Structure formats: structure tokens, C-alpha cells
Amino acid sequence: MIWFVFALLAALGDSTYFMLAKRFLKGMDMYVLASGTFMMWAAILFIITFFRRIPAIQEGFWTAVLVTGILNIVAIILYYKALKITDLSLAMPLLSFTPVFLILTSFVFLKEFPRHYGLLGIILVMFGSYILNLQSKLKSPLAPIKQLFKDKGVLLVLIVAFLWSITSNFDKMVVVKSDVIFGGAVVALFLGLSFTTIVLVQKKNLAQYRIHYKKFVITGLLNAFVATVANIALTLQIVPYVISVKRTSILFGVLYGGLLFKEKNFRQRLAGSVIMIAGIVLILMF
């Protein structure tokens, strides 16, 4: 059960990071935020690696780094865009679709598959999402499902959830073929250099690095912590279960959205999130 503790810590850290990201994006270019965050994250983990020594790297490590790196670049850009136009209490719960997509992607890439009760838990996650998008003015029972594809921000988050269902498998390959610290450091450096290149090519917003450097320290430390505990959990349990528990971040995200950002439909979104959490608990218990 120790994997559950690590996954839950990752969930709390994850929701806190996205709460900060939504707040920071109001006065900062999203590419600068991503660049500063990942470069600081990489620096922290490489410092730890220096004292632990570089592990033996197995075949397939660099391929896994490349795949998860490229897909994460796309996912992060889309999620930052979604956070700009969508409430945090709506965006984060929709990430719970990642475990649903993982039924397919984890089986394809890692031959991992949840048991029957795990599948029931995933169905609850989907039902919770239905409640999340239910509105009293909608005439059709299928309206919440249609709403998923009409709202641009919501659609972006669903795409992100699918992309992360793929990257989660390659993240596990990265740490299995190296270790939880060095693997995370290399992926963070790949992402950091990629977003820094985008900023340099645009030739604007460079002054924001100097203005917001303290924020990069905070987000870098937070992400280094999340990546480490999540990677440890991935080495102890199959990917769908770890990511399902990690998605308890949706509850923390809804609370942040309602209490800090005063977002609308707080109670309804909280109810939908609780149903999603019930599905995750069912996955955990069985």
C-alpha cells in the first residue's frame, strides 16, 4: 500500500501546481512559465543525481524519453491554453478520463489490465464527469456529453487526458530503465530546453525570466517532488491504478477553484468529483 501514499502525495502536489499555474498565467507567457518550471525542475533532480550517481541505463530509455517528451510538450501547451479559458474546477476533474484511456493504452504498451472492480471504478469516473457537466437548462440527457465537445477548453482537457494516458506508460519505461530521479531529470530537461527554444525563437517575453524567477523556484521544486513520488509509485504498481489514485488531484483542484477563484457551480462540480473519487477508491480497494 506504500504506492498509494506516494500516488496521493503526487495528487496533492499536482493540484497545487495547476492552481499556481492558473494564477501565474494571468501575468506570464505560458511558454516562459513552462520553460522556467522545467529547467528548475531538471536542475533540482540533476543535483540529487550528482550525489546519488548516474544509474545504469537500459536499452529503450532514450526512445521512451523522446516519446514522452514530445507528447508532453503538446499536452502541456494544450492544458495551459485550457486553464486560460476554463475554470480550474472544471478542467482538473476531466483529467480523470486518463485512467479510462489507460485501459487501452496501458494494455497496448505494457500489457497491464485492471480487474473487474477496477473497470467498475473507471465507469464511476466517467459518470462523475457526466454530473460535472450537467446543467439544469440542458434539455437532453445526452446534453452533458455533447457539452464535452462544444466547450473548447473542455475539449482541450480531454485531448490532454488522452495524451497523458500514453505518456504515463512511457514515464514508467523511463524510470524502470534508469531510476526515479535520473529518469525524471532527463525528461524535465528535454521539456525545459524545448520550451526555452520556443521562447528564444519568438524573441519576446525574455524579461519575464528575471521578473518571475521566484515563481520558477516554487513550481520547479513542486514538480520535482511530484515527479519523484509519482515515479516511485509507478515502480510499485501497474500504471492504471497509480494514475487513478493520482487523479484524486481533481478533488483538491475543485476545492482550489471554488475557495480561491470563486468559480461557479461549485457544489455540482464537487458532487461530480466525489463520484469520481469513489470510482478511484473502488479501484484501490480491489
9 — pLDDT class (breaks 50, 70, 90) = very high
75 — pLDDT class (breaks 50, 70, 90) = very high
Section 99-103 average pLDDT: 74
Task: Give per-residue pLDDT as tens, 245-262.
Answer: 787 787 788 888 888 888
Task: Give per-residue pLDDT as tens, 202-231.
Answer: 988 899 999 999 999 999 999 999 999 999
Task: Give per-residue pLDDT as tens, 126-180.
Answer: 677 667 656 544 445 555 556 566 678 888 988 998 999 899 889 999 999 999 9
% the chain with pLDDT above 90: 43
The pLDDT value recorded for residue 97 is 74
Provide Rg for the chain, Cα atoms: 18
Whose cell is 494564477? That residue is 23
- Segment among 23-32, 44-53, 79-88, 218-227 with least mean pLDDT: 79-88
User: What is the chain written as a DSSP string?
Assistant: -HHHHHHHHHHHHHHHHHHHHHHHTTSS-HHHHHHHHHHHHHHHHHHHHHHH-PPPPPTTHHHHHHHHHHHHHHHHHHHHHHHHHS-HHHHTGGGGHHHHHHHHHHHHHH-----HHHHHHHHHHHHHHHHHT--TT--STTHHHHHHHHSHHHHHHHHHHHHHHHHHHHHHHHHHTS-HHHHHHHHHHHHHHHHHHHHHHHT--THHHHHTHHHHHHHHHHHHHHHHHHHHHHHHS-HHHHHHHHTTHHHHHHHHHHHTS--SSHHHHHHHHHHHHHHHHHHHH-
Give the mean pLDDT of the chain.
84
Q: Which amino acid is at 228?
A: T
**Cα angle: 110, vertex 63, 82; to 5 degrees:** 80
The pLDDT value recorded for residue 114 is 64
Section 224-245 average pLDDT: 86
Q: Which of 164, 132, 160, 159 is nearest to 145 (CA)?
A: 132
The pLDDT value recorded for residue 68 is 96
Task: Give per-residue pLDDT as tens, 115-127.
Answer: 677 778 777 876 7
Q: Choose from 42-56, 132-146, 261-275 the range with maximum mean pLDDT.
A: 42-56
Section 187-204 average pLDDT: 94
The pLDDT value recorded for residue 137 is 47
pLDDT at 243 > cutoff 50: yes
**Cα angle: 248, vertex 35, 76; to 5 degrees:** 40
Entry pTM? 0.81
Domain ranges of the chain: 2-285
Q: Which burial class, exposed, middle or buried, applies to 267 when counting CB atoms under 10 A from its CB (0-12, 13-18, 19+)?
A: exposed
The pLDDT value recorded for residue 61 is 97
